[in-house]
Amino acid sequence: MKTSTARLIAAALAAGFALAPAAQAQTKLVFGTVTSVTLSLG
Amino acid sequence: MITAAKQLGFFKEEGLDVDIVAFNGTGTLLPQMTAKRVHVGYPNPDVLIVSRQPGKDPIPLKFFYNATRESAWEFVVLNDSPIKALNDLKGKKLGVGALTFGNIPITKAMFKEIGADVELVPVGVGAPAFLAFREKKVDGLNLFDSQHATLEVQGTVIRRLAMPQKYKSLFSNGFVAHEDTIKENPKMLAGFGRAIAKTSVFCEVNRAACVKAHWALYPDQKPAGDEAKAVADGIKIMAARFDKYLDFDDQKNRRWGEFPPQAWKDFAVALHEGGQISTKDVPVETCYTNALVPEFMKFDPAPIVARAKAAK
């Protein structure tokens, strides 16, 4: 990492910004209800 | 809880991207689950217990999260009906969602026990069921809690018929998965259950926000007109089911998703006494697992409560 980039990150952190986390892989899950989807599933 | 868990980001927090698919009753859902096309379902327990009788092919599914901790099923009549008790339904027509619905074995068991021959008529749920009921094409309805709450919110005055306590205290729909999924991917199911537990904490604090979360996911279901009334009605419908998620014997030590073993034994006895299974000694312990409960408990409720309080 270049020193200038490192300084920028340090400055951002000091200013209270969080680094964006790496995109998390989501597990696909199929959920089956026994009726149409209504507020009772809310 | 499902739609709220999705919309409020609790599934995402557990690394899950959940698709919600609707089926017409437990009888149509379970074949899709045994074929592993659906990972998690929300059926009644009756059919699974029936499949554990000696000589039957056991359905290779297990319940892993106790969601609806008391019976969701009710018997209702119009307020002006001469029917005052379940026994008065003898020789009458009773509207049920479908003959594939998971409550049918226990409904048959109940009527067999009281010696009442009742004609079960499939009427669906929602508008077609309500129309058949209001036009007196059926003498009563045997649907689940939130359906009857919806009827009331729409202005139909109904009476709930008393059920024998042993049936009333039976649990209803819970979360079920294939036995292979429980063995091979417990992390996914643990995350699913934890997301439901977190959503329950959130919705208990702010029910209106949960109703709005559902509408955000299904905007066509949001009633037109007065927003405050729509939210109040929505809370009533949601509460009809959600309160059963919170029905713990020990409220200070809620064990999210845990099944009391005796509840399964009671279920088998009720089905047996009602003539729906050949023996009460079915191996009900093979129908469920509490193994993931410690995983469901692994979260701090405090930030969820704070978030719920702040939600509009």
Contact between residue A34 and residue B43 where contact means Cβ atoms under 8 Å apart: yes
The confidence band for A35, taking pLDDT boundaries of 50, 70 and 90, is confident
Decide which of B166 and B310 is more confident. B310
As a whole number, mean pLDDT of residues B250-274 equals 91
Strand-pairing partners, residue B141, are B76, B95
Cβ-nearest to A42 among B43, B126, B214: B214
Distance from CA of B61 to the nearest CA of A (A): 14
The confidence band for A42, taking pLDDT boundaries of 50, 70 and 90, is low
The B residues from 140 to 169 touching A (CB cutoff 8 Å) are 144-147, 150
Report the pLDDT value the prediction gives residue B106, as an integer from 0 to 100.
87
Q: What are phi and psi of B251, to 5 degrees?
A: -70, -20
Report the pLDDT value the prediction gives residue A24, as an integer from 0 to 100.
62
As a whole number, mean pLDDT of residues B138-156 equals 93
The confidence band for A36, taking pLDDT boundaries of 50, 70 and 90, is confident
Strand-pairing partners, residue B17, are A28
Half-sphere exposure of B139 (CA within 13 A, CB side): 18
Cβ-nearest to A28 among B17, B102, B147: B17
Report the pLDDT value the prediction gives residue B275, as an integer from 0 to 100.
82
Q: Tell me the percentage of chain B whose pLDDT exceeds 70.
A: 100
Report the pLDDT value the prediction gives residue B161, as an integer from 0 to 100.
95
Per-residue pLDDT for B151 more than 90? yes
Distance from CA of B85 to the nearest CA of A (A): 26
Contact between residue B74 and residue B238 where contact means Cβ atoms under 8 Å apart: no
> Which positions in chain A have a beta carbon within 8 angstroms of at least one beta carbon in chain B?
24-42
Report the pLDDT value the prediction gives residue B101, as an integer from 0 to 100.
83
Q: Do A26 and B240 touch (CB under 8 A)?
A: no
CA B129 to chain centre: 18
Q: Smallest Cα–Cα separation from B36: which of A29, A24, A35, A15?
A: A29
Q: Do A35 and B25 touch (CB under 8 A)?
A: yes
The confidence band for A7, taking pLDDT boundaries of 50, 70 and 90, is low
Distance from CA of B199 to the nearest CA of A (A): 10
One-character DSSP codes across B223-273 = PSS-HHHHHHHHHHHHHHHHHHHT--S-GGG--TBPPPHHHHHHHHHHHHH
The B residues from 197 to 216 touching A (CB cutoff 8 Å) are 203, 210-211, 213-214
Distance from CA of B98 to the nearest CA of A (A): 10
Q: Do B29 and A36 touch (CB under 8 A)?
A: no
Instruction: Give dist(CA A5, CA B80) in Å, integer.
Output: 77
Contact between residue B216 and residue B236 where contact means Cβ atoms under 8 Å apart: no
The confidence band for B280, taking pLDDT boundaries of 50, 70 and 90, is confident
The confidence band for B109, taking pLDDT boundaries of 50, 70 and 90, is confident
The confidence band for B16, taking pLDDT boundaries of 50, 70 and 90, is very high
Question: Which chain B residues have a beta carbon less than 8 Å from that of A29?
Answer: 11, 16-19, 39-40, 188, 192
Report the pLDDT value the prediction gives residue A21, as an integer from 0 to 100.
47
Q: Do A34 and B24 touch (CB under 8 A)?
A: yes
Q: Is B42 on the interface with A (CB under 8 A)?
A: yes
Per-residue pLDDT for A1 more than 60? no
Q: Supply the mean pLDDT for chain B.
A: 93
Per-residue pLDDT for B73 more than 60? yes
Strand-pairing partners, residue B119, are B93
- Contacts of residue B86, defined as CB under 8 A and 6 or more positions apart, other chains included, come to B75, B110, B111, B114, B116, B161, B162, B163
Instruction: Give dist(CA A34, CA B24) in Å, integer.
Output: 5
Per-residue pLDDT for A9 more than 70? no
Report the pLDDT value the prediction gives residue A16, as an integer from 0 to 100.
45
Residue B3 is encoded by which pair of tokens? 């739609």
In a mutational test of the A interface, the residue from B238, B243, B245 whose CB has the highest number of chain A CBs within 10 Å is B238
Question: Which chain A residues have a beta carbon less than 8 Å from that of B188?
Answer: 27, 29
Q: Do B39 and A30 touch (CB under 8 A)?
A: yes
Question: Which chain B residues have a beta carbon less than 8 Å from that of A22?
Answer: none
Taking only the tens place, the pLDDT of each residue in A14-29 is 544 444 444 568 999 9
One-character DSSP codes across A1-42 = --HHHHHHHHHHHHTTPPPPPPPPPPEEEEEEESS---GGG-
Reduced to 3 states (helix: H, G, I; strand: E, B; else coil), residue B40 is strand
Report the pLDDT value the prediction gives residue A23, as an integer from 0 to 100.
54
- Least confident stretch, A6-20, B97-111, B237-251: A6-20
As a whole number, mean pLDDT of residues B159-164 equals 91
Q: Do B42 and A31 touch (CB under 8 A)?
A: yes
Q: Is B24 on the interface with A (CB under 8 A)?
A: yes
Instruction: Give dist(CA B38, CA B71) in Å, integer.
Output: 24
Q: Say which amino acid occupies B272.
A: H
